[in-house]
Amino acid sequence: MHELGVVFRVIRQVEEIAAENDVTRVESVTLSLGEVSSVIPEYLIDCWKWAVKRTEVMREAELKIEPIPAITHCDACGTDYPTIPHGKICPRCGSGETWLKQGNEFIIKQIEAE
């Protein structure tokens, strides 16, 4: 729902990193994006295409997205299970004593630049 906001944030960070590294042109930015990070990759790319045109060093930069699967851990029986189909309730033992092990990440992984 807040794709445009996070795109602005990513752009600001990439511009900082570009300045620190004497970058003249950013070719691509790779994000590691958790499956349940509440950001929809397609919307993110649409916002990206619009927003980078307003910048200097990253006007043509491509946004690459690497998904991270969401996994929940059950404290009651020790199982790790995929979050998307099962949610908060453990499919093995039915317990609700579970927590998200991974899948809400939103990380700038790397930048290709010259």
Partner 1 sequence: MGDLRVIEVKRSIFEDNNRDADRLRDQLRRENTLLINLMSSPGAGKTTLLRRTIALIRDEMKLGVMEADIDGEVDARAIEAAGAKAVQIHTGGMCHLDADMTRQGLAALGSEAFDLVVLENVGNLVCPAEFDTGAMRNVMLLSVPEGDDKPLKYPLMFKNCQVALINKCDTLAVFDDFDCERVKARILDRNPTCRVFFISAKTGEGFEAWTDWLREALSQFRGGKLDAPVHFDA
Interacting residue ranges for partner 1, rule: CB under 8 A: 1-2, 4-6, 9-10, 13, 17, 21, 23-24, 27, 38, 104-114
Rounded to a whole number of angstroms, the minimum distance from the CB of residue 12 to partner 1 is: 9
Q: Minimum distance between the CB of residue 80 and partner 1, rounded to whole angstroms?
A: 20
Q: Cβ closer to partner 1: 94 or 110? A: 110
Using alpha carbons, select from 19, 29, 34, 45 the residue that is nearest to residue 109. 29
**In the complex with partner 1, which residue's Cβ is closer, 16 or 82?**
16
CB of 35 to partner 1, least distance (A): 15
d(CA 38, CA 112): 26
Q: Which residues of 17-46 are buried (b: 16+ CB within 10 A; e: fewer)?
A: ebeeeebeebeebbbbbbbbbebeeeebbe
How far apart are CB 107 and partner 1 at their closest, in Å? 5
